[in-house]
Structure 1
């Protein structure tokens, strides 16, 4: 019998390409999946097209930007989750973000503020004895501020810092917290961007690192991106300033 039978994973922002692959892989591991997104129709189509076991999946509407709805959303979950994955994300190019604050604000709300809102509600529910793990999807863009994407990067840096503190907060309850620091992924959010194809990762590859998360706080898929991550962390500021 699969050891994860009767365990539930809640995936927030489940319509992302990586999140959809997580749905598949968690099902294989025996989990029940609550897939939550603004676009529930797209999720239903994905489930149908991939012949996934509908009896093991609950699709719910979740809007990361509608903070006032988060408490009600959580209280009405059919089952309180063992694992929570925050996969919601929004990206606009930096030129637009610095000139149009509404675009920058939307990135802040989806990538950071919405995450803090719902994850605070989930993790502070002392009645949920199921909770074992929180996983957030962040980005290499949040490791150091760079002129090409510092607005988006700042939202991811904030999210990573929040998760680091949350990990400390929840450690006494033996609840693990992980952050996935991702490089370029071949997803719709990156469609149209000029990216180095040798560094592109596929969504199912990234999803495997989420589903197989261990004890380490930081997860960086792919040895190339691990190397880039380490270099970015230690690079002197004057050299960071020369990066695009």
Structure 2
């Protein structure tokens, strides 16, 4: 993985920041892109990272008109791209507040499609070898407690599935990380089962070391839950929270 350039979109998420650390440990140059550039600079300083190997750029996932200029402005085009932007709205609130729901859909799906389409259409970047998307187990089956959020993650996952097939002949691997509960600022305050919580560094390790399979589910418990959810009869899914 030495000398490779990694572009992380939505780099201020807890998982993305841990991925920055781990990619650097593998000798990569990291482009950390986010609206929160001050927070990223502080993170690089607080973690004593080599600032010469971390380039912080402004990127707004929902400002679609800016995406072409953003990508064109990247001097060294990436070998690896991680899309980790996230935005969570409680399901009941999502049913009542369209503006925040629309923001969630744009962050998880529309923003991803906009920027990733640009990246994969760049035929001059012959070094592009992998795209990784951070998705969620919430997108596996529609459940009454989080189906609005889950639908945006499901759309993202299906886009990546098709993108994987589209890029097959170019030997570009597309992976999706289907994560369960992550201990992060986005889930802070939510009533989640403690025994199922995973640390951002653990998810980041799954990102950095992902193989050739399309779906990667970090954590044994979550792997079991993933397979159960996929094949559970509808009448049982209806009884889930």
Residues 41-190 of structure 1 mapped to structure 2, 5 A cutoff? 41-190=38-187
What is the alpha-carbon distance in structure 2 between the residues aligned to residue 225 and residue 7 of structure 1?
31
Q: 2:205 corresponds to which residue?
A: 208
Residues 215-230 of structure 1 mapped to structure 2, 5 A cutoff? 215-230=212-227
What is the alpha-carbon distance in structure 2 between the residues aligned to residue 224 and residue 73 of structure 1?
39
What is the alpha-carbon distance in structure 2 between the residues aligned to residue 163 and residue 44 of structure 1?
30
SS of equivalent to 2:186 = helix
| Residue-by-residue CA offset, 1:170-209 (whole Å, 9 max, x unaligned) | 0100000000000000000000000000000000011000
Unaligned runs of 5+ in 2: none
In the alignment, which of 172, 190, 194 is matched to residue 193 of structure 1?
190
In the alignment, which of 11, 19, 22 is matched to residue 22 of structure 1?
19
CA RMSD of aligned residues (A): 0.5
* Deviates most, 30-39 or 4-13: 4-13
**Is 1:6 the counterpart of 2:33 in the alignment?**
no
| Residue-by-residue CA offset, 1:74-123 (whole Å, 9 max, x unaligned) | 00002100000000000010000011111110000001100000000001
- Count of residues in Structure 1 that have an aligned counterpart in Structure 2: 241
What is the alpha-carbon distance in structure 1 between the residues aligned to residue 149 and residue 89 of structure 2?
8
Shift of 1:153: 0.2
SS of equivalent to 1:78 = coil
What is the alpha-carbon distance in structure 2 between the residues aligned to residue 240 and residue 185 of structure 1?
22
What is the alpha-carbon distance in structure 2 between the residues aligned to residue 176 and residue 205 of structure 1?
21
What is the alpha-carbon distance in structure 1 between the residues aligned to residue 96 and residue 153 of structure 2?
19
Unaligned runs of 5+ in 1: none
Shift of 1:232: 0.1
| Residue-by-residue CA offset, 1:148-176 (whole Å, 9 max, x unaligned) | 00000000000000000000000100000
SS of equivalent to 1:190 = coil
What is the alpha-carbon distance in structure 2 between the residues aligned to residue 61 and residue 53 of structure 1?
19
Shift of 1:5: 2.9
When normalised by structure 2's length, the TM-score is 0.99
